[in-house]
Structure 1
């Protein structure tokens, strides 16, 4: 056998061995990747979300929930990974404390504890109180105040100054107060305006005292704040003297202060014309005939 042929066979065996070794390493690497992907999929977490809309007071039932894959290791605070943990048992049911829309994660802050009732007291933050005031269609911003809105509370009252004169004042009593409920409705997702009679706020003890006292001595009215507004504004007391409207209002006030002069009134009297009566004569005429002519003589009448 020629040396060139032997050399070619040796080269062929070496290349074949290298190809087999390379393919074996490639397959082993692919297998390792598949195993790693399988382990990742096995470790994938689930997150419980709402399958149907739930509102305040609704019982949390299994048909209203669903578990979805959650690839991240970071989950929302207070979330659940199992529907059974959320639902609990029939003896200790859970209820929705606020509106939960489909696809929204079910959090512990949005539902009651096991066996707890869905009451307004359970929705209060620690140390806060719920207090209600009476409103009407004007004082309640025409019914556009809804649960979870923020409002400012104004107090209109009548005070007596040192001179003994009554004066009307308006003060900003509270700012940025959270609305818990309107009438008996605590559903924040209900956005249709409706005229209500009472509004319930979440306030501190001091704020509750101020609201109660203000409702006793004056009239409370609400002003709706922007949903993104959280700052406390600098306010001042408004009096009747602050209702000026510029030069026009000043001139008008001066005109009103002047004592108007009384206009001269002319009365037109129609003259009455009495009919003329015939004048009775105070004498009589006597005619006397002479031979040629007739003469007349006046003779006075006896009165």
Structure 2
């Protein structure tokens, strides 16, 4: 009896100590969680309440506010729907915006402005249109937002009097702004087009304009993530 009693006392002591240790660990975890929650200041960000496409006008029913950590608020975002709708005139989406995606100033127009190509252009860039057909336009599989190389095909007469044709890569990784008169990047239905509008610098705009009269321009579609230049030969 004495041995059994001693064993029971020892076991009770061990379980008691273990219970105290577990409770202390749990309380410490609760304190850390409370400290972290108190240390992070809450803010809010305006997001799209529904998918928006190029040209859609923003309204209160298409936007909503969600909680957001103050230290991780995206640059150019809005804290309240009232702030996003402020100004004289409605704002329009400049690109496709998914549901619950933050509304950024770079993705929408200013108050009262229309969603036009001039609003989409980057600082110092120009929009130039290239005439294409079902072959030169990569069979209609070039869409707004894609990256393409512009090729120039021309024929010259050599010293021996024979005509020689060759192709030069005129520009690389050029952003497509619009296909015909469609600038919506959510467009995904291939179709034969007559013109493709690209975003280029002033110098490259001069090259395109001159090349259009010197030969035939065509496009080469690049990989979605491929924006680096390549060394090419004639």
**Which TM-score band applies after superposition, normalised by the shorter structure?**
0.7 to 0.9
Partner SS, residue 63 of structure 1: helix
Contact 1:147 1:180 in 2 (8 A): yes
What is the Cα deviation at residue 42 of structure 1? 10
> Is 2:62 the partner of 1:61?
no
Contact 1:88 1:94 in 2 (8 A): no
- The TM-score, its normalising length taken from structure 2, stands at 0.81
CA deviation digits over 1:148-195, x for unaligned, max 9?
Answer: 100001111011112222111111111100000001111111122111
Query: Among residues 184, 192, 212, which one is paired with 1:187 in the alignment?
Result: 184
Q: Which runs of 5+ in 2 are unaligned?
A: 1-26
Provide the aligned length of Structure 1 versus Structure 2: 202
Identify if the C-alpha distance between structure 1 residues 139 and 42 changes in structure 2 by more than 3 Å, giving closer, same or farther. closer
CA deviation digits over 1:203-242, x for unaligned, max 9?
Answer: 01111111111111211111100011111111111xxxxx
Pair member with larger Rg: 1
Partner SS, residue 72 of structure 2: coil
Identify if the C-alpha distance between structure 1 residues 43 and 234 changes in structure 2 by more than 3 Å, giving closer, same or farther. closer
- The TM-score, its normalising length taken from structure 1, stands at 0.63
Runs ≥4 in structure 1, deviation > 3 angstroms? 39-43
Provide the residue aligned with 2:205 in structure 1: 208
Partner SS, residue 83 of structure 2: helix
Query: Among residues 215, 221, 230, which one is paired with 1:224 in the alignment?
Result: 221
What is the Cα deviation at residue 92 of structure 1? 2.3
Query: Separation in 1 of the partners of 2:98 and 2:42?
Result: 24
Partner SS, residue 71 of structure 2: coil
What is the Cα deviation at residue 58 of structure 1? 1.3
Identify if the C-alpha distance between structure 1 residues 233 and 42 changes in structure 2 by more than 3 Å, giving closer, same or farther. closer
1:94-243 map, 5 Å: 94-237=91-234
CA deviation digits over 1:9-57, x for unaligned, max 9?
Answer: xxxxxxxxxxxxxxxxxxxx9xxx7xx78x9499521111001111111
Provide the residue aligned with 2:80 in structure 1: 82
Provide the residue aligned with 1:269 in structure 2: none
Contact 2:151 2:219 in 1 (8 A): yes
Partner SS, residue 159 of structure 1: strand
